[in-house]
Amino acid sequence: MPLRDLLKRFTTSQLEQDELSLKEFCESLPEHTLLGDVELRKLMVMVGEIESLRIVPSRDGTPWLEALLNDGSGKLVIVWTGRKSIAGVRPGTRLVLKGRPSLHTRSRRPVVYNPIYRLIPVDSPQS
Amino acid sequence: MRVVIVGAGKVGMHIASDLAQSDHDVVVVERDRNLVARKQAASGLEHVEFVVGDACEIAEQDLCGLETADVVVAATGEDQVNLVVSLLAKQEYAVPRVIARVNHPRNQWLFNESWGVDVCVSTPHLLTALVEEAVSIGHVVNLLDFEGGGARLVEVTLAESSPAAGMTVSELRASQDIAVVAIVRDRHVITPDADDQLEVGDEVLMVVTAEDDDEVRRLLVREA
């Protein structure tokens, strides 16, 4: 490792390092749109890591599972309606999803409802 | 604005011709080929584009250009169709505003954000509200629900026994989360200031939250 990289490694925080490695990982996957470049209402494939999860009751009382997805370039909200939990979907899970983002009224972030998704196994080779 | 209307019945066609006249881009989707042919021949609908197809099928929704629609109106005579159209429009096509017609009042509880409905319109409920408004002095009449029931526009004509008669607008505000939107007095609309005093016979229009219903009633209507 060159000295410059070593120096950088010592001077950046853990948080920034995690963010960088996440960004690197996401950018290495083929054929997807970066969350920072998401266009509303276009069907697109996106990847990222779940940063946080929460259950939000909708107005009619059904639970909605809301995940915040991060890929180092931007963030996206995923909503699964009528769900409290989904096997394998936890903070830290990385996934590939396909959907048409709209604008989330509460957070002003792009949101995708009930997307088609695939979990990326933690120890998978980057392919 | 690009509006997609599903259902070429009386309701759908009326909306279509109204909107086309105000220069909106209108597409009507209808399953029944013969009905479409008849409506196309009718006058006043020259600028309305028709698509023959089942709006409940994803493959056919692509044809109607739902991905570029600003508003979708589900106006068929069948509630189940209206719900499926709303859900697909909202979740698959990210349509900003979805309006659905409720045919049977018993189904109204289903027309909410879980099914992708932003605004639902039920003729029987609307009529009830209008009748109530006509017959009631001293009753809180619900005129309109915003955002799936989170806030509502209500109207009260102050009766002589109303505890609010003589109060100022600021006193009313202090006691509750009430936004007084307008006061109608002697056929004049008054934009309420904090110091305006409410009088018997005033029609008071307010935006309140759904939970505050009982509070509003207690404040503005003396229970018998």
ipTM comes to: 0.78
Calculate mean pLDDT across residues B15-28: 90
Tell me whether B197 touches chain A (CB under 8 Å).
Answer: no
Q: Which of A59, A100, A113 sits opposite B112 (nearest CB)?
A: A59
Cβ contact B110:B102 at 8 Å: no
**Number of C-beta neighbours around residue A44 at 10 A:** 16
Closest CA to B56 of B66, B46, B69: B66
Pick B160 or B136 by higher pLDDT: B160
Closest CA to B10 of B46, B35, B41, B37: B35
Predicted confidence at residue A28, as pLDDT, reads 83
Q: Return the bridge partners of A50, or none.
A: A69
Closest CA–CA distance from residue B99 to any residue of chain A (Å): 17
Tell me whether B112 touches chain A (CB under 8 Å).
Answer: yes
Tell me whether A107 touches chain B (CB under 8 Å).
Answer: no
Mean pLDDT of chain B: 85
Calculate mean pLDDT across residues B90-114: 91
Pick B146 or B7 by higher pLDDT: B7
Say which range, A76-85, B42-51, B115-124, has the weakest mean pLDDT.
Answer: B42-51
The full length of chain A comes to 127
Closest CA to A56 of A104, A102, A99, A96: A104
List the end-to-end C-alpha distance of chain B, in Å, as a whole number. Answer: 50
Tell me the C-alpha distance between B15 and B201, whole Å.
36
- Strand runs (DSSP E) across B37-159, as ranges? 49-52, 71-74, 97-102, 119-122, 141-146, 151-157
Cβ contact B93:B85 at 8 Å: no
Share of chain B above pLDDT 70, in %: 92
Closest CA–CA distance from residue B114 to any residue of chain A (Å): 7
Among A residues 8-47, those touching chain B with beta carbons less than 8 Å apart = 40-43
Confidence of residue B5 (pLDDT cuts 50, 70, 90): very high
Reported as a single tens digit per residue, the pLDDT across B167-176 is 888 888 766 6
pLDDT of B11 strictly over 70: yes
Tell me the C-alpha distance between A85 and A64, whole Å.
9
Confidence of residue B101 (pLDDT cuts 50, 70, 90): very high
Q: Return the bridge partners of B27, or none.
A: B4, B49
Do A60 and B112 make contact, defined as CB atoms within 8 angstroms?
yes
Calculate mean pLDDT across residues B205-216: 81
Predicted confidence at residue B80, as pLDDT, reads 95
- Paired tokens of B82: 């209206």
Confidence of residue A127 (pLDDT cuts 50, 70, 90): very low
Tell me the C-alpha distance between B83 and B63, whole Å.
19
Predicted confidence at residue B134, as pLDDT, reads 66
pLDDT of B62 strictly over 80: no
pLDDT of B2 strictly over 90: yes
Cβ contact A97:A78 at 8 Å: yes
Burial class (CB in 10 A: 0-12, 13-18, 19+), B195: exposed
Do A60 and B91 make contact, defined as CB atoms within 8 angstroms?
no
Cα–Cα distances in angstroms (integers) from residue A42 to residues B67, B87, B94, in the given order = 8, 17, 9
Tell me the C-alpha distance between A49 and A89, whole Å.
10
3-state secondary structure of A120: strand
- Paired tokens of B32: 């029944």
